[in-house]
Amino acid sequence: MTLASTPVLAPVAARPAAWLRTRRLRLREFVVQDRPQLVQMHADARMRALLIDDHPLHRHDVCEHFLRRLQPLYRAHEGLGIWHAERSVRRFSDAELAAPAMREALTPAALAALAQPVDEFVGWFNLMPMPGRDGEIELGARLLPRAWGVGLSDEGGEALLQHAFETLGRERVWAVCHVRHEAVRSCVLALGFMDAGVLPYEGEPARHYLITRADWLASQALPRRARLRRAIAGMRNAAAVA
């Protein structure tokens, strides 16, 4: 989605409180002070390789402009936005903290402090107005490689679909990804989306997926593992036909 038409606001000093929490994730609104994290994320070639858009958010000036224009969107479209995502991680395991060298070098208070989890930035999740489709919204995520492969995209996606259907009362949600992004394909199919084919998206071909409220309710009746098996079977069938 483009933010070019929204007004510019002054920087926000304080970090906002969590907007949504899951078992492992904490989502909040972005502020301008998050620019270094966002720049670093988009400087990672692995993360950027399969993005549809080519917005150079790895540049500090472009990223700050983006963050400033994002601020009014949270108020103009209540319940929609792009959210800063973080998770709690431990810096040292119990075994590492119990090592004789650590226990000799540090005081009990220091060891206790190191045992506490810290918040780690892992990327963003979004639920945004969809370009070119008035009144429609799309679900998306961008995660750092260190957060790949552990189910965070599924966890955040499930929470945002629940928000879209239960809180916002939406009848359907789209998801869009690069045509070669197979990891996204397995995730959205496991969430209950149906493949809607390759369609234009801001001038580029992109794989589109759609989930209706009825589809979402039906998918919620299945355990997550059953949904994942169904998604994998669907991908294999599609590959066989192709």
Contacts of 115 (CB under 8 A, 6+ apart): 90, 92, 94, 97
Q: How many residues does the chain have?
A: 242
The pLDDT value given to residue 145: 92
Question: Which tens digits make up the pLDDT trace of 208-220?
Answer: 999 999 999 988 8
Q: What is the pLDDT of residues 175-193, one digit of tens each?
A: 999 998 888 888 898 899 9
**pLDDT interval class at 10 (50, 70, 90):** very low
Q: 25-29, 80-84, 130-134, 182-186: which range is least confident on average?
A: 182-186
Q: What is the band of 230 on the pLDDT scale with cuts at 50, 70, 90?
A: confident
In this prediction, what percent of the chain has a pLDDT beyond 70?
88
| Least confident range of 5-19, 24-38, 98-112, 135-149 | 5-19
Q: Of 17, 37, 39, which Cα lies nearest the Cα of 27?
A: 17
State which fold the 20-241 domain adopts.
Aminopeptidase (3.40.630)
Whether residue 86 has pLDDT greater than 90: yes
234 falls in which pLDDT band (50, 70, 90)?
low
- Structural element, H or E, at residue 143: strand 137-143
What pLDDT sits at residue 102?
Answer: 81
Q: What is the mean pLDDT of residues 64-71?
A: 95
pLDDT at res. 9: 36
Handedness of CA 200, 148, 17, 224 (dihedral sign): positive
Which pLDDT value is given to residue 174? 98
User: Residue 7: pLDDT band by 50, 70, 90 thresholds?
Assistant: very low
